[in-house]
Amino acid sequence: MRVLIIGVGTRGDVAPYTGLGARLREAGHEVTIAAHEPYAELVTDADLKYLPLPGDPLTALTGRLSISAFKQYSEHLTEGLAGLAGQDADLLLLGVAGALGCHLAEAMGVPSMGVHLQPIDPTGDFPPVTSLFHGSLGRWGNRRAARLAFELPAAGPLISGLGTRMRARLGLPPMSPRAVYRRRESTRWPVFHGISPLVLPRPADWRPGLEITGYWWPPRPRDWQPDPVLLGFLASGPPPVFVGFGSLAETRAEQYTELAVQALRRAGLRGVLQTGVRGQLSDDVLAVGEVPHDWLFPRLAAVAHHCGAGTTGIGVRAGVPAVAVPVMNDQPFWASRLTALGVAPAAIPFRRLTPVRLAAALTAAVTDPVHRQRARSLAAGISAEDGAAPVVEAVNRLQVTRAG
């Protein structure tokens, strides 16, 4: 089948889809990923076809866009997605941020499936993970809040304001957000979640068709080799800890780097930083650029990160303790899961991060044997999972059905 994955988002959103796409390609399918241009190389390095989407959401997420500029970005994204209607595809796979693709699939006359990195469907187990609610609203309240996020005309996972423009652009009849949601539920639209069930058990009150399969691991960049400086640093002393803040690091690199260096000094730990600068900062601190986390993390004593979905997955796969420093969106949810699983001490919201707090958390992660034991046990279970297999099987079944 010709499979088109809509990979709207930043690097952490696109990377898991390259892993899923590679598995689909190995199964004989022709896979294309539509993503923003800064992440084109992630796709092509995985030997997948690439289609560009306009804009870069990173500037919006880091607060560097005005409201008018964000509106412009959204309109460009809508146009870019609508422009994919002319592509040859038999199936669309849609992430949470690519939910507008449901209208695109309708216009193209092809089926679609969800491939989500966040659990947005209503459940009593937790409130909406991408909302401002980080505490339980009670089982009824949790479910109601999540459903409203789909149905309200001004917001939600279906980006309904953009959906109205999208449908008009594609020549489709108007449809309210509530009607879109009801169609989604009445057809039991399939959604596969690239999350380990050991990290997030499937909610018992989810409807059929919503599955948690296991992580989708991105392939390493083609011909990648570790920098000799990094190899030398790792070999020059006890395992260091990692400190990185994801895409946010680029906005205030010097400030975040200094905070991390002070914390390492207080804790008496060696460190590898991914905070937006590069170079040997001292005998005990090395700042690096892009390094595959699946290679780096298992070589460390602990990893402190922003708890993006992808980084969280690679962190628990590595079998080392974590320090959760969530910033926004779904990150507080993943931070709470790391703490609940016992692989991390209490999370530190990024707005409250100080050298003292980070040093204390790093010390706890490194010295508490419980965190390390639970991290190793969790990693052993995750290593036995094949998160891509259920998606590949579903696509194969669809191919047989359509052929018949």
pLDDT above 60 for 159: no
pLDDT band (50, 70, 90) for residue 156: very low
User: Pseudo-torsion of CA 34, 38, 44, 46, nearest 10°?
Assistant: -90
pLDDT above 60 for 66: no
Average pLDDT, integer, range 140-148: 91
- Cβ contact 350:245 at 8 Å: yes
Report pLDDT for 162. Answer: 81
pLDDT above 50 for 140: yes
pLDDT above 80 for 130: no
pTM: 0.92
Average pLDDT, integer, range 160-180: 87
Higher-confidence position of 403 and 38: 38
Higher-confidence position of 171 and 249: 171
Name which of 19-28, 117-126, 142-151, 270-279 the model is least confident about: 142-151
* pLDDT (tens digit per residue) in 372-397: 999 999 999 999 999 999 999 999 99
Report pLDDT for 401. Answer: 84
Report pLDDT for 161. Answer: 73
pLDDT band (50, 70, 90) for residue 55: confident
Using DSSP bridges, classify how beta strands 2-6 and 91-94 pair: parallel, antiparallel or unpaired. parallel
Average pLDDT, integer, range 154-176: 76
Which CA distances in Å does 168 have to 38, 79, 82, 245, 274?
28, 11, 10, 39, 43
Report pLDDT for 67. Answer: 61
Name which of 162-166, 297-301, 317-321 the model is least confident about: 162-166
Q: Which domains does the chain have, with CATH numbers?
A: 2-216+387-403 (3.40.50.2000), 228-383 (3.40.50.2000)
Average pLDDT, integer, range 146-157: 69
Report pLDDT for 153. Answer: 57
* pLDDT (tens digit per residue) in 244-302: 987 766 667 888 899 999 999 999 999 999 988 899 999 999 999 989 999 999 999 99
Report pLDDT for 60. Answer: 61
Dihedral pair phi/psi, residue 192, rounded to 5°? -105, 135
Higher-confidence position of 2 and 154: 2
Distance CA 39, CA 176 (A): 33
* pLDDT (tens digit per residue) in 322-334: 999 998 889 999 9
Distance CA 100, CA 82 (A): 9
The pLDDT mean for the chain works out to: 90
Tokens of 341: 């699983």
Distance CA 180, CA 192 (A): 19
Report pLDDT for 110. Answer: 96
Report pLDDT for 12. Answer: 85
Measure CA 184 to chain center. Answer: 23
Distance CA 42, CA 35 (A): 10
Distance CA 325, CA 350 (A): 5
